Amino acid sequence: MNRRQIFQSLLAGLAIPLAPLNLARAAQVSGRRLILVELSGANDGLNTVVPYRDERYRQIRPNISLHEDERFTLTSELALHASLTPLGDAWEAGDLAIVQGLGYPGQNRSHFKSIAIWETGGDGSQSGVNGWLTEDIMGMRDASEVDAHGISLDGGMGVFAASSGLWLSMTSLNQFATLAGQRQQAPSVSGGDNPALAMLLDRGHSLDTAMTRISAKIERLPRSSSFRIDAGDFGRQAAMAAQLIDAGIEAPVLKIKLDGFDTHEAQPWRHRDLLRDLGRGLAGLRQALIQSGQWEDTLVMTYSEFGRRAVENESMGTDHGTAAPHFLMSGGLSGGIWGVHPDLGNLADGDMEFTLDYRTMYHTVLRDWFGLVQNRFQSHFDPALDGILRS
Amino acid sequence: MKSRSGIANKINAFMLTFILAVALLGFPAHAQNHDVLSVQRGLALAGYEPGPLDGYWGGLTESALSELMEDYGIAAEVGGPDDLSGTVFDALVRAFNALHEALEADKPHLQVALGVVDARHLLERTGIGAHPAEIDRLVGLTRSEAISQIIAGLDARAPLLPQPTWVESGPFPDYWLRWDYEEEERSRFRMARDREMNQLRAWWVDELIATDRPQAERLILYWHNHFVTAYSAIQEESHAIYLQHQLFRSRGHQNFRDLVTAILYDPAMLNYLDNDRSREEQPNENLARELMELFVLGEGNYDEETVKEVARALTGYGYTRMGRMEFQFSPWDHDSGRKTIFGRTGRWRAEDVADILLDQPEAAEFVARKFWTAYVSEFNYDEEELATVAAAFRDADYDVKTLLRYLLASRAFWAEENRGTIVKSPVDLLIGSARSQGRHLGEVVSLPNQLAALGQNLFEPPNVAGWPGAGDWLTPSRILLRNDTLDRLADYVDDAADQEQPDASVAMAGADTGSAEMAGVDEPSMSEGGDTAGGTIRVRYAAENFEGPPIFRVYVMRENEEGALRTDWVSPVVVAEGGIDTERYGRVMASDLPWRETEIPVPREIDPAAFRVSFVNDHCCGAGGSDGGDRNFYVDWVSFDGRLYPVSAGEQRTSCTSPNADREPGRLFCNGHVTLSEYLTEDTEPVFARSSDRLLIDRVAFEWAEEMRAGDNWVSFSLGVLSPRLGSVGAQAMKVELVRNNTDDAGQRLLLKISERECYPNCLGAPMPSAAYTNRETGHREMNFVLIGREWDDERRQWNALTDEQRAFVSSLWVAVPDFIRQAMRGRNWREREAQRKYETWSEWLALVEEALPRSRYARHAAPGGWGMSGIQPDANSMSMMMSMMSGTGAGEPMVVAGMPSDDARDYVDGMAQSAPPAQYFLTSIAGVDLPQVGQLSEIFQHPMYQLK
């Protein structure tokens, strides 16, 4: 470790104190849940939430800027991509909040590095090992109180990376029901000093416990409750999330994913189709949760590895960039536009400067949604998002 | 064994082109002859003195080599680069190993004689699983000697099993024109490529099981996960994936420096990381960044400024898709300015970048650490030993076998605490099980599909970082699937071990041919004795199971006098095999369907007008709708008597209520049938008509155009033409460029330009005459044919140098240009590349062209019959599909497992099983975990240690 590294780790220690979790438990709000929506590949923020009045928008994007018939106006400044029209109801009802200009210092432009940063709450100089909310959620709810701490419905477990806890992946609804009880008892051995074996046994054990509980609940799900959301595989995941909630499965976090946002080329067509699935999927999810009475207790949050470069490239696309807006949706929030749009007149190498550290959003979610006043990100407090969530 | 030819030769041709390109473009001339360079390196690494490592054959190299051959008593005349055979390379490796065995003589931990435990450890880490016969062969050798055995087999050589035929077929599919296809044609094209990938995947799985050089395949797998490329991320360019695979196969065991350079020329990589459209004005940083982060240096060992500089050096590195797929450098897109990379400033190109990066001390450490994770431990790292390995790797100028030799010779590799500290990948688990059990488990699970389900779909790593391994193989879903799969394997192995002669009605026919046994349900027996007097119907199908598999029947239809189809014969019920249980595993992605083939004997003569495949037992659904489980049936094709009936031309009727349900024939989601009356035969050759009085083409599409601006001196409008031909002149692929040229002394000119770079195999049926221009930047020949304005003397000479036929060809092309543009307007490129807007800026000039052409020399020389599109013919996509379908139905190769005939491989294990095999043949033992007494082989599958290696 050289001097610089030592300095950094000291800083890191200051920045991320371990929250005294026992104290935090008093204020927490149980029964609420968060649905994380990963826009994998890096969503282009500028063509999602469009500053259509800004002449510079058309200047930096002569070929791929959205025309009037390709937009859906929200305010006198901003419009959504027309593919997101299905979110109009949520917007009208005040169930949709847009947080602008999210990013972090020292932007890393590699997909997997930067998604790992978002997943673990790091920044350009450090990425963590554990998922950003795993420790706080485990502190909030003991494994015995939940069916799972989190369930990923897309197979991806990065955001749930944790050395312990019940973080599950479930890619079809019946997976656990049909597999529970079928497993033959493995010969009992102990891990000893072998780290690989210890991990294997630990994971097998947590899984058995959770499966038994979850499968029992899914079996009670009435067959007629099955429904579809017409948004491709994303719709399938969204529908599954709604069904898990309907079945009464206790899991503070669910995770779904829409993949394919790496639009280096042919963006107008590809992005249009992706956002259509996103809009339909989220609108369908909202409808389902309103029907089952769970919408007030559910918060949907999008995230992505980074935004895309403000200046378009030569292939009708955009390259890896920096800041981007994200969506929060719930029956329990104050909808509207939050934060400040990055200044298109102040681009650095064709990139927007972020206006809000994404960890402020994490902090706000942990503090106001889950009532975890003391959490991993409290040093990122910023009044910009105060009041966005009803605590 | 079948020799590799076709594309394998193209690879050689590719390397040759590379060398030529190097010579022509003035790249550093270190690759004069790659084989010679390899020999020189090999000599140096074995302690001989070949003179400078320059790739030139000379006296020093020759004498060093003959000295070595003499030392090892190998008789082979080597008088020059042409004599460098496998014998020579084997001798070099032998000498290398001998040198290292001597160096290792004073290391006690390497002089231990191998027992079963050590031998299995070495094999599982360097290969895939370990067959007891492979283990027994190593027992008794010292560790040092055993390492030599591994190193000696790192060269993959020719595969044991023949690769799919499409890799050897003539011209590549029309990748370059596919963007012009409308959606339906695109989707057919995509399906054909997907099918090829599935074949390649299935072949590799079989090869992994069969190979007698598992260490070579392990190394190829390693590179696949180091220089990552995913098929689905490169717009279905299956041929590019194949070329990359062959690169690892032929070069992966040699030198990392060469591999890094070669990967910067690799079409699949250039596509995957977007470098193929990286240009000076807008460099794309993707390849530059991953090159440093994941391929050579590692995160944190470079800064963003370096990424930008390296990206500049890589601009213009792309590839052509015309007729073939190979590296192409575009000088005008390359930023030839000075770049500063790690403190060194110069007009760097990709080749220099590779050298500069490899001069960084972090490079060897980074690559050594990645190999450590793959070969020594995913959990424990010994920094001191890692540094030693890295130093040796660097000192050997990045020789891959040196790296491996030092890793395997490290204390850590053999240390107790590192045994069982790598989580078996799905390949280790499934292919390893097949190899160690001596059984091709394709009979019980569809291996490529099962690999995908467990998270390791070959040629589809999840992202450019590859499969992370370790805990990622043990996510909850994957744990469940792993256990379930192991249970199924255990049952199968137990059953099979109970039966000396597997009953034909239980065991399936050779899975290596992809065929499946069918169970007669309401007919007595359908075994080999079946009456085939009328021939055999083959059906390719896939199943999704829900509370049991789909069953189907095949109807032979004939026409009655009114021309209506009537049933002539009905097959017995066939139970679909190999289906995925959708209740457990969810629905299957269309590209992952587990396709099978089955044969249905027909007992009497038939004269089919059509076949009908009928799905009779639809069943739906589990909780959660069809996603909770659904029984579906898929048909791909039926073949009979040399005819192939593709389902895409079929008519489908099912009881599904959705209006779209029958739109894609072959996907039966409800009871119903699909009727196939259209077929292809092997002699449905593409009608490659030729005419000497008419220019024929297969297709024309808009390529690109510049906006006509008065001030620009050189403005062009470019069209792609597929297979233009007239008489004996023609090309398979050709771009023609309409150019408006402003000159100082002669005013405005309008001409048609053709370039060898933009034609395949060439523009005029022969290389261009020497009168042609040579492009100063690319070295390619080009010709201009002026229509309006003054013709330069050079251009006149070019015209005069053409043969009469060539003149007619060029003239016919010229005369057809206005028609070509009108034709191209119908294509998709026209719409999606904003051609209309640009076309409009050209309209005045195009009017002049139409006016000038009839009065020009081109009108006089053009073919009298004008031009035409080739008549309706089975398009190339159907043809290649046809070829691959037919090829899949051939007689299977004899099954081989771990380099042995499968019977021998199985008997070896069964023989051991009768005397209760010691568990250490199959399981890693670690302190604190007792290995079971093995009563039945299956017990080892359920032991937790079976998940680790």
Domains of chain A: which residue ranges? 19-175+229-385
User: Chain A closest CA to B383's CA: distance in Å?
Assistant: 13
Name the residue with higher pLDDT: B81 or B152: B152
User: Chain A closest CA to B464's CA: distance in Å?
Assistant: 8
Burial of residue B926 (number of CB atoms within 10 Å: 0-12, 13-18, 19+): buried
Q: Which of B750, B882, B902, B736 is nearest to B820 (CA)?
A: B736
Q: Residue A129: its pLDDT value, please? A: 64
Ranked by mean pLDDT, the top range of A35-39, A150-154, B524-528, B618-622 is: A35-39
Q: Determine how β-strand B896-897 pairs with β-strand B900-901.
A: antiparallel
pLDDT over threshold 60, residue B475:
yes
Half-sphere exposure of B8 (CA within 13 A, CB side): 14
Chain A touched by B52 (CB under 8 Å): no
Question: What's the rounded Cα separation, in Å, for the pair B88 and B39?
Answer: 8
Longest CA–CA span in chain A (Å) reads 69
Chain B residues 563-592 with CB within 8 Å of chain A:
582-587
Question: What's the rounded Cα separation, in Å, for the pair A188 and A207?
Answer: 16
B119-145 pLDDT, tens digit per residue, is 999 999 999 999 999 999 999 999 999
> What are the CA-CA distances from residue A89 to residues A35, A74, A274 (Å)?
19, 12, 19
Q: Could you tell me the pLDDT band of residue A31, with boundaries at 50, 70 and 90?
A: confident
Chain A touched by B929 (CB under 8 Å): yes
| Cross-strand bridge partners of residue B602 | B535
Question: In chain A, pLDDT over 90 holds for what percent of residues?
Answer: 60
- Using DSSP, how many helices (H) and how many strands (E) does chain B show? 32, 31
Q: Which residue has the tokens 């008593």?
A: B73
**Residue A84, C-beta contacts closer than 8 angstroms, at least 6 positions apart:** A48, A72, A275, A278, A279
B161-220 pLDDT, tens digit per residue, is 999 988 887 778 899 999 898 877 877 788 889 889 988 999 999 999 999 999 999 999
Question: What's the rounded Cα separation, in Å, for the pair B221 and B459?
Answer: 10
Q: Residue B93: its pLDDT value, please? A: 96
Task: Tell me if B623 and A218 make a contact (CB, 8 A cut-off).
Answer: yes
Q: Residue B497: its pLDDT value, please? A: 65
User: Chain B closest CA to A114's CA: distance in Å?
Assistant: 12
pLDDT over threshold 60, residue B799:
yes
Q: Which of B13, B230, B179, B243 is nearest to A262 (CA)?
A: B230
Average pLDDT, chain A: 85
Chain B residues 373-402 with CB within 8 Å of chain A:
378-380
The chain A residue lying nearest B469, using CA atoms, is: A196
| Residue A302 DSSP class | E
Chain B touched by A315 (CB under 8 Å): yes
User: In chain B, helix, strand, coil percent, each to 5?
Assistant: 45, 15, 40
pLDDT over threshold 90, residue B453:
no
Chain A touched by B277 (CB under 8 Å): yes
Q: Residue B528: its pLDDT value, please? A: 44
Contact B674, B650 (CB under 8 A): yes
| Per-residue burial over B346-359, b = 16 or more CB atoms within 10 Å of its CB, e = otherwise | eebbbbbbbbbbbe
B668-711 pLDDT, tens digit per residue, is 999 999 999 888 776 655 556 778 899 999 999 999 999 999 88
pLDDT over threshold 90, residue B745:
no
Q: What's the rounded mean pLDDT across residues B498-518? A: 39
Q: Residue A73: its pLDDT value, please? A: 96
**B426 phi and psi angles, rounded to 5 deg:** -55, -35
Q: What's the rounded mean pLDDT across residues A262-272? A: 90
A223-242 pLDDT, tens digit per residue, is 655 678 999 889 999 999 99
A326-337 pLDDT, tens digit per residue, is 999 999 999 999
Task: Please report the DSSP string for A322-351 in residue order.
Answer: S-EEEEEEETTB--EEES----TTS-BTTB
Taking contacts as CB-CB distances below 8 angstroms, the residues of chain A near B926 are: 192, 194, 197
Chain A touched by B421 (CB under 8 Å): yes
Chain B touched by A112 (CB under 8 Å): yes
> What are the CA-CA distances from residue B27 to residues B32, B307, B310, B334, B350 (Å)?
11, 22, 17, 14, 10
CA dihedral (A135, A136, A137, A139) positive or negative: positive
Name the residue with higher pLDDT: B13 or B272: B272
Name the residue with higher pLDDT: B619 or A30: B619
pLDDT over threshold 70, residue B821:
yes
Ranked by mean pLDDT, the top range of A95-99, B615-619, B933-937 is: A95-99
| Cross-strand bridge partners of residue A167 | A150
Name the residue with higher pLDDT: B195 or B767: B767
Q: Could you tell me the pLDDT band of residue A352, with boundaries at 50, 70 and 90?
A: very high
Q: What's the rounded mean pLDDT across residues B476-492? A: 83
Task: Tell me if A197 and B420 make a contact (CB, 8 A cut-off).
Answer: yes
Q: Which of B382, B389, B421, B422 is nearest to B405 (CA)?
A: B389
Question: What's the rounded Cα separation, in Å, for the pair B578 and B608?
Answer: 28
B646-671 pLDDT, tens digit per residue, is 888 789 999 887 777 787 789 999 99
Q: Residue B628: its pLDDT value, please? A: 65
Q: What's the rounded mean pLDDT across residues A119-136? A: 82
Q: Residue A117: its pLDDT value, please? A: 87
Q: Residue B522: its pLDDT value, please? A: 39
Name the residue with higher pLDDT: A70 or A113: A70
Question: What's the rounded Cα separation, in Å, for the pair A49 and A341?
Answer: 10
Task: Tell me if A243 and B584 make a contact (CB, 8 A cut-off).
Answer: no
B597-629 pLDDT, tens digit per residue, is 888 999 999 999 999 999 999 988 766 566 667
pLDDT over threshold 90, residue A349:
no
Contact B389, B372 (CB under 8 A): yes
Domains of chain B: 511-681 (2.60.60.40), 695-869 (no CATH)
Q: Residue B510: its pLDDT value, please? A: 33
Task: Tell me if A228 and B487 make a contact (CB, 8 A cut-off).
Answer: no
Average pLDDT, chain B: 86
Q: Residue A265: its pLDDT value, please? A: 83
Question: In chain B, pLDDT over 70 holds for what percent of residues?
Answer: 88
Chain A touched by B279 (CB under 8 Å): yes
For the domain covering A19-175+229-385, report its CATH number: 3.40.720.10
Q: Residue A20: its pLDDT value, please? A: 35
Dig out the tokens for B738 from the structure: 């309409």
Name the residue with higher pLDDT: B576 or A227: B576
Question: What's the rounded Cα separation, in Å, for the pair A68 and B16?
Answer: 53
Q: What's the rounded mean pLDDT across residues B276-298? A: 91
Q: Determine how β-strand A150-152 pairs with β-strand A79-81.
A: unpaired
User: Is the bond preceding B761 in cis, omega lying within 30 degrees of 0?
Assistant: yes
B10-69 pLDDT, tens digit per residue, is 444 444 444 444 444 444 433 478 889 999 999 999 999 999 998 899 889 999 999 999
- Using DSSP, how many helices (H) and how many strands (E) does chain A show? 11, 12
Q: Residue A287: its pLDDT value, please? A: 96
